[in-house]
Homo-oligomer: A and B are copies of this chain.
Amino acid sequence: MDIERYLKARASAVDRALPVLLARLKAPQPRLSEAMLYSLSAGGKRLRPVLMGASYEIFGGKAADILPAACALEMVHTYSLVHDDLPAMDDDDLRRGRPSSHKVYGEALAILAGDALLTDAFTVLLSSKYRRPPGAEALLAAAALLSRRAGAAGMVSGQAADLEAEGFLKTGRLTAARSRAGLKLLSYIQLHKTADLITAAVEMGAVLAGAPREDFNALSAFGRELGLCFQLADDILDVEGDKRKLGKSGSDARNHKLTYASLLGVAEARRRAGRLLRRALSRLEKVKGAPAAKETLAGLSRFVYGREN
């Protein structure tokens, strides 16, 4: 199986669904809708929704059955990028090779577009027509997972820690002790800022499919390790990657961001990513379900580890 082709095909189903779901909100402010759509249609790999679909398929369904839930997760991810790019946050002018939302729509509307993407992720998750409607209990569980993984105990806590860590590298020489403290902080940031939403992807797929508790737990641990692996790969790319391919401006170094690449060097970061990939794959093996779907999820994991953008 060609995993990149698979990823592209699944991503384009998400690409097609997002504007349709957005239009169904019947949001009356054209400029607000435009700003939401601008960020939603910037492309990207759609990794989180694709992971949710692949997780769901392990338990016998078809990814297309839960497309609105997958799109809802992508909306949450997109809001986080819009707010992350704001002048008060990372102050990034570029996102996926295009001007970031606040450069196009101004700061105020970018804040509101992010707020609306986050809020209406729940509208899309809870009010959409599904090809095979999940039960009310499963939908409730999926929504509760999404808010928990995205909120103050999840993604936002990682962003808050990231803020506090900014300047860590500015404030002095990296002694061994400071390096250890930095690593600890960094693991925390990466766990929440990135891994929580990737974990939510596979968890939501599992609960929407009504997966047994044991398999849910194994997938949850898998998601966590895959998410950490993803962030390591991202850090390495921020240093090494072809800027054009990545489509962002390498703000990590400019902002003195703590990254594995800056703390450990690229080679060690790459080793750690490999270790996380192997651990994630061994978690996945323990899940009882459709072998082909499990192999797809494994392929996606290897792609995450080896990707170039």
Contact = CB atoms under 8 A, between A and B. Distances in A.
Interface of A: 25-29, 31-33, 36, 79, 83, 86, 88-89, 106-109, 111-112, 114-116, 118-123, 126-127, 135-137, 139-140, 143-144, 146-148, 150-153, 156-157, 159-161, 163-164, 188, 192
Given A25-B153, A29-B161, A127-B144, A86 B111 contact: yes
B118 A115 contact: yes
A260 B120 CA distance: 30
B144 A126 contact: yes
Nearest to A35: B160
Given A83-B111, A115-B83, A153 B26 contact: yes
A151 B112 contact: no
B153 A27 contact: yes
A126 B152 contact: no
B29 A116 contact: no
B153 A127 contact: no
Question: Which 9 pairs between the two chains have the least Cβ-Cβ distance?
Answer: A27-B152, A122-B147, A88-B107, A119-B151, A116-B152, A136-B136, A120-B151, A32-B160, A126-B144
B109 A160 contact: yes
Given A112-B160, A140-B136, A119 B32 contact: no
A159 to B, nearest CB: 6
Contacts of A107: 88
Contacts of A144: 122-123, 126-127
Contact of A156 (B116, B127, B150, B164): B116
A182 B23 CA distance: 27
Nearest to A80: B115
Query: Which of A121, A147, A161 has the most CB atoms of chain B within a 10 A radius of its CB?
Result: A147
A120 to B, nearest CB: 4
A153 B33 CA distance: 9
Contact of A32 (B25, B143, B146, B157): B157
27 contacts: A25-B148, A27-B151, A27-B157, A28-B157, A28-B192, A29-B157, A32-B156, A32-B157, A32-B160, A33-B152, A79-B115, A89-B111, A112-B159, A112-B160, A116-B152, A119-B151, A119-B156, A120-B151, A120-B152, A120-B153, A121-B147, A122-B146, A123-B153, A126-B147, A127-B147, A136-B137, A139-B140
Contacts of A29: 152, 157, 160-161
Given A112-B159, A116-B157, A118-B119, 7 more contacts: A36-B152, A89-B111, A119-B147, A120-B152, A122-B143, A122-B144, A126-B147
